[in-house]
Amino acid sequence: MQRKETLYLKIAKIIEEQIQNETLLLGDKLPSIRSVQKLHNVSINTAKQAYLELESRSLIESRPKTGYYVSKTSQRKLALPSVTAIADAGKGKTPEDLISKVYDTIAKPDVTQFALGLPGRNFLPLAKLNKGVIKAIRSRSDSGTDLEPVQGSEHLRREIAKWSLVLEGKVTEDDLVITSGAMNAIYHALMAVTKPGDSVAIESPAYFGILQAIKLLGLKAVELPTHPVYGIDLDALKKVLPAISACCFVTNFNNPMGFQMPDENKKELVRLITAYNVPLIEDDIYGNLYFGAERPKPCKFYDEAGLVLWAGSVSKTLAPGYRVGWIAPGQFKDKIIRQKLVQTVCNPSLYSDVIADFLEHGRYDHHLRMFRNKLYANYLQFQRAVETYFPDNTKISQPKGGFMLWLELDKRICTEDLYDAAGAMNINFAPGRMFSQHDQYNNCMRLNYAMEWNDRAEEGLQKLGKLVKNSI
């Protein structure tokens, strides 16, 4: 592994120099991956890794179906966040209060909401959803009062299976269980594959919901070093695999880092967990919000042993308040259905109808196309605004999709303190401390850019940047 790593970095360095000495100019097309392979006499994977590395540093960019180009953002001003060495289990105060504080702002319309992982209303097809609800209620004879099957509406499960083209038919309606959003899916999955006291490997920084679920179930979180472009360090994972009971990762457009784990890494990840017989809970709620040419594969695609529990929802893309999510739990399906029977019996049936209908008639895919375009435009606006208003030593993630931006600020800054100061100006963000069980990421923050881009948003970022500058 070490040799391979050196090789791809060497190739990347050569191309980087060509860009810097302007042998390759902005907008120039790069040689194909096959050419690189032949030129340097390396494997196709090494050639790909070299390009991924350059892409991760914003020096080059891939364009759908045509190839790689010297990036327009190769003049990107700000660096990527660092890979954080995981702190020792500290005794610092827990982030629960911070999380409650952030969630308490849900219903406050006067707050410029950069904190929560929710799409703004301008992203959502409200009129079509209204129609869908009225259609659903009128086409039912029970007004939604009947209980659904515990596993979930058959119609909805069938439509999700059909719509999940990325899995190429590997998941059928029978493999799916409907849940109250993806967080509920993850909770069920963790419960099904562990017992209290067990350890679960997670990314770091990690989505705080996962951290909280692990804690609530009496489990231990093992935070792994996580690269801002490739995701978890597979070598580090390999070391802990014999001692853990499950992995729980956000593999596509990670929350909070925005990375898309490369296919090679996903394959290797599935190979590893299969070898060690450790279930992988894959939170893939952002997978359809890609900026690139196509929907990235989830690890579930490579899973032959039924060890990957693949979770999704419409909460990030269509209707957060409907609480409709799902999971394809592989081997653990029966266990999860039983848990669901005890915990909630079943889901409200009306929303199942609405979402199934949306999927069936292509309205969801149509909506997602619009959503992705808006989202990418917003990302560029946010990136520009942060470059403009924040200090030059700000490090910024480079999401490949999704709607989270991760900022690493000057070491002297404590974003938890900043949170209150920003709150006084009715501006909200997620302080970095929420994303670890350890006392770290205190100088980081997560911003949600799936909101209406307007003067208010621009001003919000401007004020936030000023606040950061004044805090040093």
Q: Is 194 in the site for its own copies (CB under 8 A)?
A: no
| Residue placing its CB nearer to its own copies in the complex, 106 or 275 | 106
Interface pick for its own copies out of 86, 133, 380, 421 (rule CB under 8 A): 133
The least distance separating its own copies from the CB of residue 172, rounded to whole angstroms, comes to: 19
Determine, following the binding rule CB under 8 A, whether residue 216 of this chain makes contact with its own copies: yes
The residue written with tokens 């702190």 in the block is 87
**Cβ contact 63:69 at 8 Å:** yes
Q: Which residue, 402, 356, 353, is CA-closest to 119?
A: 402
Q: Residue 38 or 361: which CB sits closer to its own copies?
A: 361
CA distance 81 to 407: 7
Number of CB atoms found within 10 A of residue 91's CB: 7
Asked if residue 435 binds its own copies (CB under 8 A), the reply is no
- Name which position in 323, 333, 433, 446 contacts its own copies (CB under 8 A): 323
Question: x/- site string to its own copies, residues 97 to 126, per CB under 8 A?
Answer: --xx--x--xx----------x--x--x-x
Interacting span for its own copies (CB under 8 A) from 71-79, 251-259, 319-327, 375-383: 319-327
Binding mask 163-192 for its own copies (x = CB under 8 A): -----------------xx-xx--x---x-
What is the rounded CA–CA span in Å between residue 441 and residue 395? 12
Stretch that binds its own copies, among 54-62, 343-351, 367-375, 455-463 (CB under 8 A): 343-351
Phi/psi at 431 (nearest 5 deg)? -65, 145
Residue 344 contacts its own copies per CB under 8 A: yes
For its own copies, the binding residue among 143, 373, 393, 454 (CB under 8 A) is 143
DSSP assignment of 255-306? TTT--B--HHHHHHHHHHHHHHT--EEEE-TTTT-BSSSSPPPPGGGG-SSS
Residues between 67 and 96 with contacts to its own copies, criterion CB under 8 A:
96
Taking contact as CB under 8 A, which single stretch among the options 136-144, 384-392, 398-406, 425-433 is the one that binds its own copies? 136-144
Nearer to its own copies (CB atom), residue 126 or residue 305: 126
For its own copies, which is the closer residue by CB, 319 or 375? 319
User: In whole angstroms, how close is the CB of 277 to its own copies at the nearest point?
Assistant: 23
CA–CA separation, 13 vs 305, rounded Å? 39
> Which helix or strand (DSSP H or E) is residue 468 part of?
helix 455-470
Q: How far is the CB of 191 from its own copies (least distance, A)?
A: 8
Nearer to its own copies, 152 or 460 (CB): 152
Max Cα–Cα distance, the chain, nearest Å? 71
Shortest spacing between CB 40 and its own copies, in angstroms = 49
DSSP 121-133: GGGS-HHHHHHHH
Nearer to its own copies, 46 or 349 (CB): 349
**Residues 319-329, buried b or exposed e (16+ Cβ, 10 A)?**
bbebbbbbbbb
Output the DSSP codes for 69-133: EE-GGGG--SPPPPPPPPPP---PPPTHHHHHHHHTTTT-TTSEE-SSS---GGGS-HHHHHHHH
Interactions with its own copies, residue window 28-67 (CB under 8 A): none
Residue whose structure tokens are 């992995």: 247
139 is an interface residue for its own copies by CB under 8 A:
no
Rule CB under 8 A: choose which of 150, 307, 375, 407 binds its own copies. Answer: 150
Query: Could you tell me the CA-to-CA distances from 351 to 163, 184, 319, 348 in Å, in that order?
Result: 17, 16, 10, 6
Q: Which is nearer to its own copies, 251 or 317 (CB)?
A: 317
Helices (H), 107-246: 126-138, 154-163, 181-193, 208-216, 234-240
Please report whether residue 318 would count as binding its own copies according to CB under 8 A: yes
Q: Which is nearer to its own copies, 123 or 291 (CB)?
A: 123
Closest approach of its own copies to the CB of residue 437, in Å: 14
**CB 424: neighbour CB atoms within 10 A?**
9
Does residue 448 bind its own copies (CB under 8 A)? no
Applying CB under 8 A, among 275, 293, 305, 341 the residue interacting with its own copies is 341
Looking at the Cβ atoms of 190 and 269, the one nearer to its own copies is 190
Return the number of the residue (131 or 384) whose C-beta is nearest its own copies: 131
Task: Tell me the CA distances in angstroms from 218 to 162, 399, 445, one per residue in order.
Answer: 37, 32, 27
Question: Which residues does 20 contact at the CB level (< 8 Å), separation at least 6?
Answer: none
Within a 13 Å sphere around the CA of 84, how many CA atoms are in the beta-carbon half?
24
Residue ranges binding its own copies (CB under 8 A): 96, 99-100, 103, 106-107, 118, 121, 124, 126-127, 129-130, 133-134, 137-138, 141-150, 180-181, 183-184, 187, 191, 195-196, 209, 212-213, 216, 218, 318-323, 337-339, 341-351
